[in-house]
Structure 1
Amino acid sequence: MKQQGFLDIINPVKDKMYRLALRLLVSKEAAEDATQDVILKLWNQKHKLKDYTNLEAFAMTVTKNYCLDELKAKKNNNLRIVHQNYENNSVSPQRGLELKDELNWINGIVSELPEQQKIVFQLRDIEQLEFEEIIEITNMKSTAVRVALSRARKKIRESLTKKHNYGIAKN
């Protein structure tokens, strides 16, 4: 198939391909790129085009599949970007202030805990020590460590819930 013969076949379908690509990809530039890429694919397969009874349907199917592949690739790239941001631990200034405020509240609550609960909470939830290490450090029994930790967490949770519910009720 010669170039002019190919263009005679593709030109009537080209606008439909573009509109389909635009519907799927939303961006005009992406739709134009997709249409050009599909036309190039069809050009590279021009010797097989005569085998198709409905070339328009074939071109539209290739366009649809190409656009869906592009969307899948874009989604994967977006997921990678989100994952990289997560690993990067980049936090917006507003979120940073919120976290700082929350930590200040938690520190205030922890400072009001009974001494045993404060120590157990610090060792387990902040220092991330194992229960065996906490038992060794505090000379407390296993059950006493678990009860102290449970009570400390409960007190912190209740205080934070009260703070957040109060903030909601205020607004």
Structure 2
Amino acid sequence: MNQKRFLQQIEPIKDKMFRLARRLLVSKEAAEDATQDVLVKLWKRKETLKTYDNLEAFAMTVTKNHCLDELRLKRNNNLRIVHNNYEDHQTGLQKQLETKNELELVEHLINELPQQQQVIIQLREIEQMEYDAIAKILNMNETAVRVNLSRARKKLRSQMQNLQDYGIAEH
């Protein structure tokens, strides 16, 4: 596999790899470094990549494992996500502030979930991955992925309802 072919295959999933790394690691810089490290690993295995049925699932698995290895090495427990991919240029400043606050609130609530549920929410809701691909990435069966996702959604709904009941969240 030449460099051009490799880049054609990796380019569509590079951002997903970064967002997963960002979910698992402390900072944008750490996520960028991890993504680069994984890209180097994939490049070194470029000749065997064609043997994988789902390159995206494989790349995401390598990314997840690399990040978890980094965390084990650094014993870093300050995991946070910053995922602000929502932008609406046609709303007023007040609406933009409300939306930003809502996104920060949801981000905070997601960060309160167990790490496995955080990753599943990231892969399913943000990356829009299929259950079978998530199961492969996390080395789980699809039923376990669905159960964890259901529990995470239920907990998030409950927390949002509690916040609304106390007048903290408007929507």
TM range, normalised to the smaller chain? 0.3 to 0.5
Which structure features the higher share of helix residues?
A: 1
Larger radius of gyration: 1
Could you say which structure has the greater relative contact order, defined with CA pairs below 8 angstroms and 6 or more residues apart? 2
The two structures have a TM-score, normalised by structure 2, of 0.45
Give the structure-1-normalised TM-score.
0.45
